[in-house]
Amino acid sequence: MSHKILGIDIGGTGIKLAIVDTETGKMLTDRIRVATPKPASPEAVVDLISEWVLRLDWKGPIGCGFPSIIKNGVATTATNVDKSWIGLNINTYFSKILNTNCTVINDADAAGLAEMEFGAGKDKKGVVLLLTLGTGIGSALFIDGKLVPNTEMGHLFFKDAIAEKYTSNRTRKIEELNWVDWGNRLNEYLQHIDRLFSPEFLILGGGVSKEFKKYKKYLKTDFPIVPAQQKNAAGVIGAALAARIAIQK
């Protein structure tokens, strides 16, 4: 089997894709980023992916990260995408329309897989958590390297709403929070996470992980925090990796 897989990270704001060598975790093409269609219905998203599959002349397997709880290929929630995804078996739907083997998993779980295999979490044992800070907050929890899927820590009830409303990167932009104010909010949220899950090592992913130096001094947790090594490419690389794992099963 070829280790090359098309990885796609479907987000509430952007869709990112690249062909990935799942042996090395390296992207073999530039990471392409296009705006998520509005509304982000299954038809609109798959049309856009079809267009890129054609442009890249891609005929191999595809792995997708999707911002929802995914149980055996079926989306059971839809927070930052169109509600019509709920109940859809995305594996079957994409595989049929794109005419190839497609595997979908939660987007943060995908980013976590990539960081554990090739990035900041490599060889880390114990309770390791990855949080993606983007349009929403995604989480991937690992115990001795094994993923506990669909943890949804961005949906913890915190400060009168779900936590992602208080401290996602989107909230930082919408409320025009400076790094001190947003960093302090993130710190409060991480203290809460600590009380509930006692992570031993935390990896921060999403676009804002590139700016880690600007807010790391406000994060006063007992456990170490590092930015994702693959920055916001972790989602694309991990989506491809998830497809490889599913195919090899």
**Among 13, 41, 79, 100, interactor with ligand BGC by CB under 6 A:** 79
Report the alpha-carbon distance of residue 224 to residue 203 in Å, rounded.
Answer: 9
> Mask: binding to ligand BGC, 21-60, rule CB under 6 A, as x and -?
----------------------------------------
Q: Does 73 bind ligand BGC (CB under 6 A)?
A: no
**Among 154, 183, 199, 227, interactor with ligand BGC by CB under 6 A:** 154
- Closest distance to ligand BGC from the beta carbon of 42 (Å): 16
Three-state secondary-structure class, residue 114:
helix
The sheet with strand 127-133 has its strands ordered as: 146-148, 137-143, 127-133, 201-205, 225-227
Site for ligand BGC in 121-150 (CB under 6 A): 132, 134, 136, 138
- List b or e across 73-104, with b for residues whose CB sees 16 or more CB atoms inside 10 angstroms: bbbebbbbbbeebeebbbbebbbebbeebbbb
Q: Output 108 or 190, the one with its CB closest to ligand BGC.
A: 108
Q: Output 115 or 152, the one with its CB closest to ligand BGC.
A: 152
Q: Does 232 bind ligand BGC (CB under 6 A)?
A: no
- Closest distance to ligand BGC from the beta carbon of 4 (Å): 25
Q: Output 156 or 177, the one with its CB closest to ligand BGC.
A: 156
Query: What is the amino acid identity at position 18?
Result: A
- Closest distance to ligand BGC from the beta carbon of 97 (Å): 22
Q: Output 134 or 183, the one with its CB closest to ligand BGC.
A: 134
> Mask: binding to ligand BGC, 82-121, rule CB under 6 A, as x and -?
------------------------xxx-------------
Report the alpha-carbon distance of residue 71 to residue 94 in Å, rounded.
Answer: 15
- Whether 239 contacts 9, CB under 8 Å: yes
Report the alpha-carbon distance of residue 94 to residue 15 in Å, rounded.
Answer: 15
DSSP 128-150: EEEEEESSSEEEEEEETTEEE--
Binding residues for ligand BGC, rule CB under 6 A, total 17
What's the token pair of residue 75? 């989306």
Three-state secondary-structure class, residue 223:
coil
Q: Does 9 bind ligand BGC (CB under 6 A)?
A: no
For ligand BGC, the binding residues (CB under 6 A) are 67-69, 77, 79-80, 106-108, 132, 134, 136, 138, 152, 154-155, 164
